[in-house]
Amino acid sequence: MAECHPVGFQWVMEAKARGATIIHVDPRFTRTSALADIHVPLRAGTDIAFLGGLINHVLSRDLWFREYVMAYTNAPMIVREDFRDTEDLDGLFSGFAEQTRHYDPSTWQYEGADVAAAAGQRDQWALMHRDEEAGERSAAGRRTEKASSMETAGAAGGRFHGHPERDETLQHPRCVFQVLRRHFARYTPQLVADVCGITEREFERVADALTANSGRERTTAFAYGVGWTHHTVGVQYIRTAAILQLLLGNIGRPGGGILALRGHASIQGSTDIPTLFNILPGYLPMPHAHEHLDLDGYVSADAGSKGYWGNMDAYAVSLLKAWWGDVATADNEYCFGYLPRLTSSHSNYDTVVKQVEGSCEGYFLVGENPAVGTSNSRMNRFGLANLTWLVVRDFNMIESATFWKDGPEIDSGELTTEDIATEVFFLPAAAHVEKDGSFTNTQRMLQWHHKAVEPRGDQRSELWFYYHLGRIIREKLAGAVSRETPTPEQAERDRPILDLTWDYPTIGEFAEPDAEAVLAEISGWDGEGRPLSSYTQLRTDGSTRCGCWIYCGSYAEGVNQTARRKPGREQSWVAPEWGWAWPLNRRILYNRASADPDGAPWSERKAYLWWDAEQRKWVGHDVPDFQATKPPDYRPPTDAEREDAIGGSEPFIMQADGRGWLYVPTGLADGPMPAHYEPAESPVANLLYGQQANPARRVFPHRLNRYAPSGETPGSEVYPHVFTTYRLTEHHTAGGMSRWLPYLSELQPEFFCEVSPALAAERGLEHGGWATLVSPRAAIEARVLVTERMRPVTVGGHTIHQIGLPYHWGDNGLSTGDSANELLPIVLDPNVHIQPTKADTCDIRPGRRPRGRARLALVQEYQRRAGITAETGTEAVTRRGGPS
Amino acid sequence: MSFTLDERLSAPLMDPAAEAGYAEHPPRMGFFTDTSVCIGCKACEVACKEWNAIPEGGLDLTGMSYDNSVGLGASTWRHVAFVEQATPNRDAVDLGMPSVPQGALQDDRELRWLMASDVCKHCTHAACLDVCPTGSLFRTEFGTVVVQEDICNGCGYCVPACPYGVIDLRPGDGRAWKCTLCYDRLGAGLEPACAKACPTDSIQYGPLDELRDRAAERVDALHEAGAEQARLYGHDPADGVGGDGAFFLLLDEPEVYGLPPDPVVTTRDLPAMWRRAAVAAAGTVAAVAAAFLGCRR
């Protein structure tokens, strides 16, 4: 956090000054470790084992927060009898189909009820149910076949089907609590120490600090850099933390939570108003071409009948009204048919593959430098070289804009400039100080920034670019319409664009669209054009317009709420008048959990929200994340729907059951509970199960994307070391914002690798000299930094060396070097399509890498020695002793 | 107000601005750099360069941990040192520093990574100023020491005069440069750029008296927490430079950070030197006179 979020780290330092214990869990000793009270240098890729050990510690020693867990989590729910755990299946859960590499989650469900997820793979539930309704309950094969084509995600749903059986005593052998207890029983301190390469004492120290600092009087927060998700089990990493925090009662309370430190300013904003392929604003799912044929079908497949997702129809209709205005009417389903549709996964890496295959013609790169920053950057460049056109919007002439003339493949002779047909348009971008706009931070807080200076030359904001691009396209289409009579197909095709509300006022000599007008549209209006103040005002009848339901009210009363900057010292400690946090300016989500089931604070020290019996409403320091007048003793009638179906003591209002999920009956692609799997490429065998890697991980076998043999597979010794990639404080991601700046470049002027003295001695690496690193994808060179901050770990009696590689560099700019991400494989977490950047394998040798064709030859020689084929590393199911 | 020569050169001096001739002046301002909370982000280095428009200092990977600007110089007015230390494991004492567990490093040593942002000390007795023949270096009303680039003639006398090796000539430019404690910001009521940018308040700016009180409290708190090595550096008006306007809290010996353990203003001995020179000259005169007088005999 000190490395990548130095400004945010000031609050950690402030907490430390006030007595907080700072624990840093990271394979590397970083600037964060230097200031932490405890540093745990675990082996890269073993966090589920470490956290699983903590869960086992909490459960086996009865250190969990009993009242909180009983009332607020799904611990009492009883799981179906035919559910099988990793304990039974040596690392697999029931429902896995090896052919399709997909899980059918039917057996994971509660006894007596099925429940849809509020987030994640929501289609699992919808598909399951349609099949069920069609009398195909046993046709698991067909379901998983369908599941393999489904890619919609985001949050929604939360629907019950039936009533789950519960055991409030938590004694039933199949209740979630007991299932969890058995599942994590093997994560003993001894095993954790073995798998993670740490000492039992280290583990105990963290376990003691964590449990001593949780409960009624105290709370513990987890903060993670998004590298925590960069694993083939990335979502399950966060799930493990969530289970632990729920067991300790650290969710929905001040000082608790799991805080994602996003990798770039407003990455939170870019998921809320998404740049992702499978969600619409406010986490509404993107409709699927073959599944959601009409608005009713779309909503009924995804909306929950209970909880706030029950209002998804109002959110969706208001979004469509914001986009298509008066044209959107009940008669035409509010232009639902205009929305783009998914046909398969259109994730970043799927797109790269399509580019290489030649089925993706054009590409926009906006503040992104895949020729340096994306996994297997070499494969990315082959994709870019195979386009018809490419638009690059960036501050500087990044490698992704110049690969066609000076990329590594030009040097190696694999590509020639004359043969690359990609037409590249480079458009200089304005920086954040050169434009108005908002940032949304990890607390979901929107903060407005005002333009300080005009952009220079041709530099323009993204808003300017997209607004005028849309304007010009619309003019062209409209011109075509008036000039000639379009065919009905053309007219039909162009209508969604021509009917868009595209009428933002512009300002100044460059005709910059008014950013506040965009915010006002996102926040929404009622039928009379008055600004909305709450998403509860949104209607299904088309009378409201709102560009993103969770941002509704950010422009309440016609005032830019996100521009509020009342100093903290002039208001309460929660500082509600600084910026604006979605939803409804709530600063802590699910804050009903900060009070006990009866509505009283868990302790005076941690009082945050409580039920005022006289006023008959929830009061406290924050906006209640709960119906303000719903009493704690409210019990929903059996036929209640939407938010009315949530009881007065059920804080998790987005979930259909109102509870925090210790166990996930549906919504995850790789199991209802986390299990430790080794990274897709690992030098060691999984000590926990016969199953080596996440069986549901997505693999991309391709000649440009070969995988190393893993675990005990012969050939894994050819790539014996673990490497982990990361960022330095001095640079920004793929370097587009930092490598051209002299003041930053001089602080970290060159690409380097960090190795331990032991590895340096073993491989003859010289401090300050050069090393060559080889993976099945590429060979790169780096200057060597020998440091005791890198530490070998002992796993199963073997010494494993870990190599640190900051990934900022490329050939352009002031500070240059090879890109570490050349080495990375494309293999993805099945839930969110994230790549593993933190734990992969390579070899390291002294000296510089070969030039020209010899560079590729070196990579191929390694592949031959390791016996790598197209199948290597792609196996789904493994048993002890190698692939089955 | 009058000052003795000793006071003017080396003895404890409470009010350097008054000594410099400011009858009315604001309180003496300075830096307290608390290295125990430095996270090595180098925002101070960048903010300093941005504000003062200092040129880039070279793109060389040094291999000195994460320190690639090496030290203070004409083009580096704030410098963050990175010191990687493997020390014997003092497991029993929680220093507020991470202790790598037993066996983590060979020989049961623990690792720590010290970071410290160094800067011109703005000495009470500033030899650079004393030796400057052009008046380019001067004492401001805030008690700080500033070099004026439009007056400096590049003679370089100040460079060896500095006991800390701070001020230096810029190659290709020839003039001497160093931290001005953002004199142009102070006058406008702003804090220096480095202090403004520091996210953890490792760099604190304020009236020197207040900073000294705050520093004393902080070092006591650290001692109480078991960090017995914590110490202040440059805070003492009785030290060899009359105390620094920019002083530090360190977690180890000053040498570990590349700081001189016992700096002395290089002009301290000037009176003695001149006295001796005067005695020698008087002796010579006497001898010559005696020789002539002898001749007349």
Mean pLDDT over A762-791 rounds to 97
- Tell me what the pLDDT averaged over chain B comes to: 90
Provide the percentage of residues in chain A whose pLDDT is more than 90: 86
Helix ranges, A185-307 (H)? 189-196, 200-212, 234-247, 269-272, 295-302
Domain of residue A170 covers 41-306+589-609+628-676
Closest CA to A114 of A830, A669, A671, A667: A667
* Predicted confidence (pLDDT) per residue in A585-635, tens digit: 999 999 999 999 999 999 999 999 999 999 999 999 999 999 999 999 999
Q: Which value does ipTM take for this structure?
A: 0.91
**CB–CB of A791 and B60 under 8 A?**
no
Instruction: Please check whether residue A336 lies inside any domain of the structure.
Output: no
Closest CA to B80 of A26, A746, A36: A746
Closest CA to A671 of A243, A309, A71, A291: A243
Structure tokens at A215: 């409960």
Residue A883 has pLDDT above 50, yes or no: no
Helix ranges, A90-174 (H)? 123-133, 140-149
Which carries the bigger pLDDT value, residue A134 or residue A374? Answer: A374
Integer Cα distance of A274 and A585 in angstroms? 20
- Are residues A241 and A136 both part of a single domain? yes
Mean pLDDT over B64-86 rounds to 96
Integer Cα distance of B120 and A784 in angstroms? 32
In the block, which residue shows the tokens 């624990």?
Answer: A23
For residue A265, what pLDDT is reported?
A: 85
Put simply, whether A743 touches B (Cβ < 8 Å) is yes
User: Which CATH number fits the domain that encloses residue A281?
Assistant: 3.40.228.10
* Res. A16 pLDDT band, cuts 50 70 90: very high
Closest CA to A273 of A449, A462, A522, A499: A522
Give B-chain residues touching A752 at CB under 8 angstroms.
61
Integer Cα distance of A811 and A820 in angstroms? 12
Backbone torsions φ then ψ of B268, nearest 5 degrees? -55, -40
With H, G, I as helix, E, B as strand and everything else as coil, classify residue A609: strand
Integer Cα distance of B96 and B226 in angstroms? 8
Closest CA to A56 of A792, A674, A487: A674
A793-795/A798-800 β-pairing: antiparallel
For residue B90, what pLDDT is reported?
A: 54
* Length, in residues, of chain A: 884
Give the amino acid at A281: P
- Are residues A173 and A289 both part of a single domain? yes
**CB–CB of B112 and A34 under 8 A?**
yes
For residue B268, what pLDDT is reported?
A: 80
* Predicted confidence (pLDDT) per residue in A297-325, tens digit: 898 876 666 777 889 999 999 999 999 99
* Predicted confidence (pLDDT) per residue in B127-154, tens digit: 999 999 999 999 999 999 999 999 999 9
* Predicted confidence (pLDDT) per residue in A220-267, tens digit: 999 999 999 999 999 999 999 999 999 999 999 999 999 999 888 889
Residue A280 CA: distances (Å) to CA of A158, A316, A443: 18, 9, 20
For residue A130, what pLDDT is reported?
A: 52
Residue A880 has pLDDT above 80, yes or no: no
Instruction: Please check whether residue A735 lies inside any domain of the structure.
Output: yes
Q: Exposed, middle or buried: residue A458 (CB in 10 Å: 0-12, 13-18, 19+)?
A: exposed
* Predicted confidence (pLDDT) per residue in B210-224, tens digit: 999 999 999 999 999
Put simply, whether B59 touches A (Cβ < 8 Å) is yes
In the block, which residue shows the tokens 């001749």?
Answer: B295
Which carries the bigger pLDDT value, residue A276 or residue B207? Answer: B207
For residue B93, what pLDDT is reported?
A: 42
* Predicted confidence (pLDDT) per residue in A443-466, tens digit: 999 999 999 999 999 999 999 999
Determine which of A9, A11, A732, A747 to mutate to test the interface with B (most B C-beta atoms within 10 Å).
A747
Mean pLDDT over A674-692 rounds to 97
- Are residues A250 and A384 both part of a single domain? no
Number of domains in chain A: 2
Mean pLDDT over A799-825 rounds to 97
With H, G, I as helix, E, B as strand and everything else as coil, classify residue A800: strand
* Length, in residues, of chain B: 297
Closest CA to A636 of A656, A622, A615, A665: A656
Put simply, whether B108 touches A (Cβ < 8 Å) is no
Q: Are A165 and A77 in contact (CB under 8 A)?
A: yes
Q: Are A635 and A600 in contact (CB under 8 A)?
A: no
Instruction: Please check whether residue A475 lies inside any domain of the structure.
Output: no
Integer Cα distance of B259 and B114 in angstroms? 14
Put simply, whether A759 touches B (Cβ < 8 Å) is no
Structure tokens at A290: 């073959």
Q: Cα angle at A12 between A6 and A18, to 5 degrees?
A: 145
Question: Per residue in A743-760, is it b (16+ CB within 10 Å) or e — as a string?
Answer: bbbbbbbebbbbbbbbbb
Residue A251 CA: distances (Å) to CA of A55, A58, A73, A237: 15, 16, 11, 17
**CB–CB of B37 and A13 under 8 A?**
yes
Search chain B and give the residue with CA nearest A729.
B41
CB-hemisphere CA count at 13 Å for A149?
A: 11
Q: To 10 degrees, the CA torsion angle through A631, A637, A639, A644?
A: 0
Residue B207 has pLDDT above 90, yes or no: yes
Instruction: Please check whether residue A841 lies inside any domain of the structure.
Output: yes
CB pairs under 8 A between A and B: 118
Mean pLDDT over A824-852 rounds to 97
Out of A16, A39, A750, name the one closest to residue B61 (CB). Answer: A750
* Predicted confidence (pLDDT) per residue in A104-157, tens digit: 999 999 998 777 666 666 666 555 555 444 444 333 333 333 433 344 444 443
Q: Residue A872 gets which letter from DSSP? A: T
With H, G, I as helix, E, B as strand and everything else as coil, classify residue A641: coil
With H, G, I as helix, E, B as strand and everything else as coil, classify residue A299: helix
Closest CA to B54 of B134, B173, B154: B173
In the block, which residue shows the tokens 């590429």?
Answer: A778
Mean pLDDT over B62-72 rounds to 96
Closest CA to A579 of A452, A440, A431, A450: A440
* Predicted confidence (pLDDT) per residue in B213-271, tens digit: 999 999 999 999 999 999 999 999 999 999 999 999 999 999 999 999 999 988 888 77
Give B-chain residues touching A768 at CB under 8 angstroms.
61, 63
Instruction: Please check whether residue A17 lies inside any domain of the structure.
Output: no
Closest CA to A831 of A238, A88, A140, A300: A238
SS (H, E, C) A395-424: CCCCHHHHHHHHCHHHHHCCCCHHHCCCEE
For residue A725, what pLDDT is reported?
A: 97
Put simply, whether B111 touches A (Cβ < 8 Å) is yes
Provide the strand spans (E) within A807-869.
827-828, 840-846
Residue A582 has pLDDT above 90, yes or no: yes
Out of B41, B61, B94, name the one closest to residue A749 (CB). Answer: B61
Q: At what angle do helices A47-60 and A234-247 cross, to 10 degrees?
A: 20
- Are residues A275 and A174 both part of a single domain? yes
- Are residues A659 and A727 both part of a single domain? no
Task: List binding-site positions of B.
Answer: 38, 41, 44, 48, 120, 123, 128, 132, 152, 155, 158, 162, 179, 182, 194, 198
Q: How far is B55 from chain A (nearest CA, A)?
A: 8
- As assigned by CATH, the class of the B5-263 domain is alpha beta
Q: Exposed, middle or buried: residue A653 (CB in 10 Å: 0-12, 13-18, 19+)?
A: buried
Closest CA to A654 of A590, A569, A597: A590
In the block, which residue shows the tokens 């016969």?
Answer: A690
CB proximity list for A530: less than 8 A, separation 6 or greater = none
* Predicted confidence (pLDDT) per residue in A37-81, tens digit: 999 999 999 999 999 999 999 999 999 999 999 999 999 999 999
Mean pLDDT over B113-122 rounds to 98
Closest CA to A833 of A468, A189, A335, A342: A342
For residue A842, what pLDDT is reported?
A: 98
Residue A139 CA: distances (Å) to CA of A134, A292, A302, A544, B20: 10, 22, 22, 43, 93
Mean pLDDT over A704-712 rounds to 96
Give the amino acid at A264: H
Closest CA to A537 of A314, A280, A272: A314
How many helices (H) and strands (E) chain B has is answered by 9, 10
Backbone torsions φ then ψ of A615, nearest 5 degrees? -80, -10
* Res. A159 pLDDT band, cuts 50 70 90: low
Closest CA to A549 of A250, A321, A293: A321
Put simply, whether A740 touches B (Cβ < 8 Å) is no
Give B-chain residues touching A41 at CB under 8 angstroms.
100, 104
Residue B102 has pLDDT above 50, yes or no: no
- Are residues A74 and A120 both part of a single domain? yes
Instruction: Please check whether residue A102 lies inside any domain of the structure.
Output: yes
**CB–CB of B59 and A36 under 8 A?**
no
* Predicted confidence (pLDDT) per residue in A479-520, tens digit: 866 666 778 888 888 999 999 999 999 999 999 999 999 999
Question: Per residue in A237-252, is it b (16+ CB within 10 Å) or e — as a string?
Answer: bbbbbbbbbbbbbbbb
- Are residues A635 and A725 both part of a single domain? no
For residue A142, what pLDDT is reported?
A: 38
Structure tokens at A406: 């000076």
Mean pLDDT over B36-52 rounds to 97
Residue that is last in its domain, among A654, A676, A698: A676
For residue A163, what pLDDT is reported?
A: 77
Q: Exposed, middle or buried: residue B58 (CB in 10 Å: 0-12, 13-18, 19+)?
A: middle
Question: Per residue in B15-36, is it b (16+ CB within 10 Å) or e — as a string?
Answer: ebbbbbebeebeebbbbbbbbb
For residue B271, what pLDDT is reported?
A: 78
Q: Are B169 and B176 in contact (CB under 8 A)?
A: yes
Give the amino acid at A720: P
User: Which CATH number fits the domain that encloses residue A352?
Assistant: 2.40.40.20
Q: At what angle do helices A295-302 and A123-133 cross, to 10 degrees?
A: 110
Determine which of B36, B37, B41 to mutate to test the interface with A (most A C-beta atoms within 10 Å).
B41
Residues within 8 A of B (CB atoms), A 460-489 only: none
Mean pLDDT over A712-723 rounds to 96
Determine which of B62, B66, B106, B202 to mutate to test the interface with A (most A C-beta atoms within 10 Å).
B66
Residue B278 has pLDDT above 60, yes or no: yes
- Are residues A302 and A432 both part of a single domain? no
Give the amino acid at A736: G
Instruction: Please check whether residue A492 lies inside any domain of the structure.
Output: no
